[in-house]
C-alpha cells in the first residue's frame, strides 16, 4: 500500500470512528446514569455521585474531541499525514479513560456489596463492552482491546480468585465473552478495511457495513437481560459473520469488471472461457471466439491524448457489448485496446457475420482518427475462430487460432475480419 493509500485508509477509519461517537456517548451516558443512580438509591453512598461526576468529565472530554474533529477535519486531515495518527491517539486515550471509570465502579461494587446487589453492575459492564463492539469493530480492534480489557479483565480476575462457585462461573463467562467479542471485532475490522482499500463501490459497501454494525448493536443489547446466554448470542453473531462474508463475495465478483470500460476484464475472460470450453466439451457443441484490436490506437493516443483514448475505449466496448445479445455471449477487455468475444454454440459463418456487424458498428461511431493509415475514423481488425472441443484439444489452441487470424487481418491492411480458416496463399 502506498503512503497516500495508507493515509486515505487512516482517514476513512477515523471518519467512521467519528460518526460512531455520538451513539457511543449517548449509550455511555444512559448506562452511567442508570448504574450510579441505582447504587446511590440502594446504598446512599456519596461515592457513586463522585463516580458519576468523573464519568461525566471523561464523556465531556470525548465530546470535545468529537466537536473539534468535526470542525477541523476537512482543513487539517487532508493536508497532514500525522494528523490522523494524533486524533487516533486522543480517541484511544478517551476509550482508556472511559474503561477505567467502569473498572473502578465494577471493582468497588464487587468488594462492597453482596453478589445479588452487584449483579446489576455486571450487566452494565457487559452492555458497555457489547456497545463498544459496534462502535469500534469496523475501525480499530486495538481500541476495543483497550476498552474491554480494562473494563472486564480486572473484575473477571477478582471473581476467579474469590473461589466462590457462582463468582468463578461469572468470571469465566466474562473472559469467554471478552475473547469471542475480540475475535468478532478483528473479523469485522478486516472486512471493513478490505472494503475501503478496494476502491470499488466503497460508499455502498460502507453503508452496508454500518447497517451490519447497527444490527450487531441490537443483538448485543440483549445481553443486558442475561449475559450467560452465550450460546444464543454466538449463533446470532455467526449469522452476521456469514452476511459479512457474502459482502466480501460480492466484492470478489466486482473485481472481475474492467474499471474503465465497465465490461468484464481479462481475469473474467480466463475463467469464463474455461467454463464455456468445458461445457462445449461435455455437450460436443461448437464454440467460437473473436479477438479484435483497435487499429493504430497508439497513434490515436499520441494525437488526441489519453483522456480521449479512454473515451474511445469506452465507446468501442459499449458498441461491441451491444451486439453480443445472446445470453451466453460475453464481451471482455482482453488487454489495452484489445477485446475478446466468447460466442458459445455459434458457427464460424455466423460468428463472421456478427464480427462484420461489430466492425461496421465501430465505424458508425464516427470517432475521428487522424493518425490512422486505413481510415479517417476509428476502425477495428478482427480474428475469428471456431471449434468443437475434444479431449485431445486445449482451449489455448482456439485462442491462438483467433489471435493468428487477427494478425493476418492486420497484415492484410486492417479494418477487416479474417477467419482462422482463411489462410494466406
pLDDT of residue 190: 64
How many C-beta neighbours within 10 Å does residue 209 have? Answer: 20
- Please state, rounded to an integer, the average pLDDT across all residues of the chain: 81
**Distance between CA atoms of 220 and 135, rounded to whole angstroms?**
12
pLDDT of residue 1: 47
Domain membership flag for residue 424: no
Predicted confidence band of residue 229 (pLDDT cuts 50, 70, 90): confident
Q: Which residue out of 190, 212, 337, 394 is catalytically annotated?
A: 337
Domain membership flag for residue 387: yes
pLDDT of residue 192: 61
DSSP 368: B
Same domain, 124 and 90: yes
Same domain, 277 and 359: yes
**Distance between CA atoms of 136 and 131, rounded to whole angstroms?**
9
Q: What domain count does the chain have?
A: 2
Contacts of 32 (CB under 8 A, 6+ apart): 52, 55, 56, 59, 101
Predicted confidence band of residue 25 (pLDDT cuts 50, 70, 90): confident
Using CA atoms, how far residue 170 sits from 123, 153, 162, in Å, is 11, 12, 11
Predicted confidence band of residue 161 (pLDDT cuts 50, 70, 90): confident
pLDDT of residue 78: 45
337 an active-site residue?
yes
- 102-129 pLDDT, tens digit per residue, is 888 888 888 888 888 888 887 888 777 7
Same domain, 199 and 56: yes
- 204-213 pLDDT, tens digit per residue, is 556 666 777 7
Domain membership flag for residue 284: yes
Domain membership flag for residue 277: yes
- 131-141 pLDDT, tens digit per residue, is 766 666 555 66
Same domain, 58 and 203: yes
Predicted confidence band of residue 18 (pLDDT cuts 50, 70, 90): low
Q: Count H helices, E strands: the chain?
A: 13, 5
φ and ψ at residue 287, rounded to 5 degrees: -130, 125
Average pLDDT over residues 129-158: 72
**Most distant CA atoms of the chain, gap in Å:** 106
Which candidate, 150, 166, 147, 167, places its Cα nearest to that of 158?
167
Please give the grid coordinates belonging to residue 337.
485496446
pLDDT of residue 79: 43
413 pLDDT more than 90: yes
Write down which residue in 221, 254, 287 finishes a domain: 254
Average pLDDT over residues 370-389: 94
Contacts of 138 (CB under 8 A, 6+ apart): 13, 16, 188, 189, 192, 209, 210, 213
358 pLDDT more than 80: yes
Helix, strand, or coil here: 79? coil
77 pLDDT more than 50: no
Write down which residue in 220, 254, 288 finishes a domain: 254
- CB of 288 within 8 A of CB of 385? yes
Using CA atoms, how far residue 416 sits from 186, 269, 352, in Å, is 56, 23, 11
pLDDT of residue 201: 47
Region of 44 (left: φ > 0; alpha: ψ -120 to 50; beta: rest) is left
Same domain, 277 and 242: no
pLDDT of residue 268: 93
Domain membership flag for residue 294: yes
Domain membership flag for residue 260: no
Same domain, 234 and 188: yes
194 pLDDT more than 70: no
**Distance between CA atoms of 333 and 292, rounded to whole angstroms?**
10
Write down which residue in 198, 224, 254 finishes a domain: 254
Predicted confidence band of residue 81 (pLDDT cuts 50, 70, 90): very low
Domain membership flag for residue 90: yes
- 264-298 pLDDT, tens digit per residue, is 999 999 999 999 999 999 999 999 999 999 999 99
**Distance between CA atoms of 23 and 90, rounded to whole angstroms?**
18
**Distance between CA atoms of 141 and 404, rounded to whole angstroms?**
55
**Distance between CA atoms of 238 and 42, rounded to whole angstroms?**
39
**Distance between CA atoms of 303 and 309, rounded to whole angstroms?**
10
Return the C-alpha torsion angle 354, 359, 364, 370, nearest 10. 170
Helices (H), 80-201: 83-112, 115-136, 141-161, 165-198
Same domain, 289 and 397: yes
Q: Quote the domain boundaries for residue 44.
A: 3-254
pLDDT of residue 200: 39
Domain membership flag for residue 68: yes
Same domain, 30 and 58: yes
Amino acid at each position: 500500500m502506498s503512503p497516500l493509500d495508507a493515509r486515505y485508509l487512516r482517514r476513512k477509519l477515523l471518519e467512521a470512528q467519528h460518526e460512531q461517537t455520538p451513539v457511543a456517548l449517548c449509550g455511555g451516558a444512559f448506562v452511567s446514569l442508570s448504574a450510579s443512580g441505582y447504587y446511590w438509591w440502594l446504598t446512599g453512598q456519596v461515592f457513586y455521585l463522585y463516580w458519576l461526576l468523573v464519568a461525566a468529565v471523561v464523556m465531556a472530554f470525548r465530546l470535545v474531541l468529537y466537536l473539534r474533529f468535526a470542525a477541523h477535519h476537512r482543513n487539517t486531515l487532508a493536508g497532514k499525514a500525522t494528523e490522523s495518527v494524533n486524533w487516533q491517539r486522543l480517541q484511544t486515550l478517551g476509550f482508556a479513560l472511559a474503561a477505567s471509570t467502569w473498572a473502578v465502579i465494577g471493582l468497588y461494587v464487587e468488594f462492597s456489596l453482596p453478589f445479588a446487589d452487584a449483579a446489576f453492575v455486571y450487566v452494565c459492564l457487559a452492555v458497555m463492552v457489547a456497545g463498544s463492539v459496534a462502535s469500534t469493530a469496523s475501525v480499530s480492534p486495538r481500541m476495543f482491546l483497550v476498552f474491554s480489557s480494562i473494563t472486564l479483565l480486572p473484575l473477571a480476575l477478582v471473581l476467579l480468585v474469590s473461589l466462590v462457585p457462582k463468582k468463578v462461573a461469572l468470571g469465566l463467562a466474562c473472559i469467554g465473552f471478552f475473547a469471542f467479542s475480540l475475535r468478532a471485532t478483528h473479523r469485522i475490522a478486516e472486512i471493513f478495511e478490505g472494503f475501503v482499500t478496494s476502491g470499488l463501490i466503497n460508499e455502498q459497501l460502507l453503508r452496508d457495513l454500518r447497517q451490519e454494525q447497527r444490527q450487531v448493536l441490537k443483538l448485543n443489547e440483549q445481553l443486558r437481560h442475561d449475559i450467560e446466554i452465550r450460546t444464543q448470542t454466538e449463533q446470532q453473531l455467526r449469522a452476521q459473520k456469514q452476511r459479512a462474508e457474502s459482502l466480501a463475495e460480492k466484492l470478489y465478483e466486482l473485481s472481475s469488471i474492467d474499471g474503465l470500460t465497465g465490461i468484464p476484464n481479462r481475469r473474467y475472460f480466463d475463467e469464463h472461457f474455461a467454463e464455456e470450453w468445458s461445457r462445449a466439451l461435455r455437450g460436443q457443441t461448437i464454440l467460437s471466439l473473436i479477438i479484435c484490436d483497435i487499429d493504430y490506437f497508439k497513434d490515436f493516443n499520441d494525437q488526441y491524448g489519453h483522456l480521449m483514448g479512454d473515451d474511445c475505449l469506452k465507446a468501442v466496448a459499449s458498441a461491441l457489448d451491444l451486439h453480443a445479445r445472446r445470453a451466453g455471449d460475453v464481451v471482455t477487455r482482453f488487454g489495452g485496446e484489445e477485446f475478446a468475444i466468447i460466442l458459445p454454440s455459434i458457427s464460424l459463418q455466423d460468428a463472421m457475420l456478427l464480427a462484420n456487424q461489430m466492425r461496421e458498428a465501430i465505424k458508425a461511431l464516427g470517432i475521428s482518427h487522424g493518425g490512422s493509415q486505413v481510415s479517417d475514423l476509428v476502425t477495428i481488425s478482427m480474428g475469428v475462430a471456431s471449434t468443437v472441443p475434444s479431449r485431445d484439444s486445449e482451449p489455448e489452441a482456439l485462442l491462438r487460432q483467433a489471435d493468428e487470424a487477427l494478425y493476418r487481418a492486420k497484415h492484410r491492411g486492417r479494418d477487416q475480419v479474417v477467419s482462422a480458416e482463411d489462410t494466406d496463399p
